[in-house]
Amino acid sequence: MIKKSLVWIALLTVPAIAAAPLKLLFTKGETLRYKVDITSTETTSVKGDTAELRMSGSHVMTMKVTSVSNGVATMSVGYSNATASATALSLPEDAKKNKAKIEAAAASALKTALSTGARSQKVKSNGTATYTMKAGEGQSLTIEGGAFMMLVLPTSEPVLNKPWTANIRQPMPGAPALPVKFKWVGNVTKNGRPLKKIMMSVSQSKSDKQGEISMSMTESAGGFVLLDSGRGKVMSGEIERTLKQTMKHEKEGSRIQQQTSKQSFTKF
């Protein structure tokens, strides 16, 4: 009886351990690699003529951590092994004779896009990133407010199904900051390890009118990231995006462009 009482006293005197916020963990000298796959369909409609182009591609994203100081990792980012293909599903009658050239040009443009974008970046433990890239003639461009693999973690312990929001910029010059909503929706098991599934979503719309031309744009994206919180690593993710732009001339009619894309990535 005395022994049991002593055990209870010992347990009661141990301070409660507060749950810590989620963190990304990096070490100097480590290399992170992600295989990225992309599919995209672009549709353009002008005065009843429609062109629809489907593209797919992949590349390897490699990040080498050169230093870690006060929880901030500095790393280089590069892309390799780019592949791309394109198929014209529909073309205006006068463009059908150039189908092969159109497909080749689209595939080449996608492959170029997947091969470029090398940069350095500083990443905080919550995923917030600052990008630095070459801007020509010895100049560099810095973009703040980025995110590591499209993920920014909350500053406090995550609560199941309770959203948090972060303004995120893509590593592209002039890219606007978009309010991205995140939400931890539960855990999944992959390769024997529990991973936190974090959903993300973003949407925006704009409209303008200049003279006889009215313009509107809507964009939405959603997906998920799987985080190994024990190791502090982003393991995989998937994001789907839809972008629609409409230009309407009071006399000449409308031009509608829509792009739907899906991007998935896996750490290996």
Taken in order of first residue, the domains within the chain and their CATH numbers are 19-267 (2.30.230)
Query: Taking residues 123-151, what's their average pLDDT?
Result: 94
Mean pLDDT of the chain: 92
Q: What angle do CA 257, 259, 262 make, to 5 degrees?
A: 180
pLDDT digits (tens, 9 = 90+) for 51-98: 999 999 999 999 999 999 999 999 999 999 999 999 999 999 999 999
CB within 8 A of 132, min separation 6: which ones?
119, 120, 121, 122, 140, 141, 142, 143
Query: Taking residues 9-36, what's their average pLDDT?
Result: 74
pLDDT digits (tens, 9 = 90+) for 186-224: 999 999 999 999 999 999 999 999 988 999 999 999 999
Which of 18-32, 136-150, 159-173 has the lowest average pLDDT? 18-32
Name the percent of the chain lying above pLDDT 70.
93
- Let me know: does 4 contact 239? Beta carbons within 8 Å: no
pLDDT at 78 (0 to 100) = 98
Q: Give the pair of three-digit tokens for residue 112.
A: 């170029």
Q: Which one-letter DSSP state was computed for residue 227?
A: E
- Reported as a pLDDT band with limits 50, 70 and 90, residue 5 is very low
- Reported as a pLDDT band with limits 50, 70 and 90, residue 10 is very low
In whole angstroms, what is the distance from residue 178 CA to residue 161 CA? 21
From 241, 145, 151, select the one nearest 195 (Cα to Cα).
151
- The total of other beta-carbon atoms located within 10 Å of residue 180's CB is 20
SS3 213: strand
- Reported as a pLDDT band with limits 50, 70 and 90, residue 19 is low
Q: Give the pair of three-digit tokens for residue 154.
A: 């909350």
From 43, 97, 73, 99, select the one nearest 243 (Cα to Cα).
43
pLDDT digits (tens, 9 = 90+) for 107-134: 999 999 999 999 999 999 999 999 999 9
* Residue ranges of E strands in 119-252: 119-123, 128-136, 139-147, 164-168, 178-190, 193-210, 213-228, 233-249
In whole angstroms, what is the distance from residue 149 CA to residue 163 CA? 18
Is residue 173's pLDDT more than 90? no
> The tokens 């973009």 sit on which residue?
143
